[in-house]
Amino acid sequence: MIILLSDKEEKKVIIKLNKKKRPLDDKYISEREVIWKNKLKEKQSKIWNGSIYKIDNIFQTDHRHIIIELNKSAYKDIVFKRVKGSKYILEKYGKHNLCSHVELVAIPVTYDYKFVFGIRSKKTIHKGNVIDLIGGLANADEFNLKKPDDLRKFMIKEVKEETNFKISISKIRLFGICLFNQKYQFVYVFKVPCHSKNISKYSKKGEFSSLITLSEKDLIRRKGGSSFEYCKNYIHLIKETVKK
């Protein structure tokens, strides 16, 4: 599912942090801890259990305002969900144990309207040599989320950490909010000041070993991570967004 927002609608988004948190079931926690310990052994303790923003609800009280009700979950909840699947958790433990975490991703677009993605490095916790989107989890330990601009600022921080693109808050646009794999993914787009042939100079070693540019036709034919695969549902709309 994709929620498309205009610039005016984004400015009217109200973000509320729900301080009331229903305790997770003991049986859920027990199984989650087993998965987490196994993952720590597998990754040789290169992961840590940070606090991640999640969305409890999105609703509209009138035609002018969209309210996003936030909460926080542990990273180990996301790991558990990735390993066992949303359906498993929902059927065995109920919906209040299933977190809908937040991710922020960006799809830069070159002068010649090619889409920019990264090739995952083998040195991170992710599977290496996989095409994926720039960005990642909305880490609550790294920023306070009170308004839409806070999301933009954190997205810019992620872009600067993972690439050599230089962008400002006024140049980045929210394309929409995607709900899939029981996560809310805020998708941002922006133009980059280069031709696709020169994209290599904007690559930064770290999360990605390199950057890649793809046309819409090339993108459909390639395989990648889950976010890359899902973006095929809306990529045809991205070009029109950056042209506006």
pLDDT tens per residue across span 32-90: 999 999 988 886 556 789 999 999 999 887 777 889 999 999 999 999 999 999 999 99
Task: For the chain, give the percent of residues with pLDDT over 70.
Answer: 95
The enclosing domain of 17 has a CATH number of 3.90.79.10
Closest C-alpha to 17, from 81, 67, 78:
67
- Total structural domains in the chain? 1
Give the single-character DSSP code of 201: G
| Domain of 73, in residue numbers | 2-243
pLDDT tens readout for residues 140-151: 999 999 999 999
Strand partners, 134: 106
Give the residue among 148, 134, 156, 137 at the shortest CA–CA distance from 211. 134
CB 126 within 8 A of CB 118: no
In this prediction, residue 206 has a pLDDT band, given cuts at 50, 70 and 90, of confident
The amino acid at 145:
L
pLDDT value, residue 188 = 96
> In whole angstroms, what is the distance from residue 141 CA to residue 241 CA?
31
User: Tens of pLDDT along 119-130?
Assistant: 988 766 667 679
pLDDT higher at 243 or 77: 77
DSSP β-ladder status, 2-4 and 66-74: unpaired
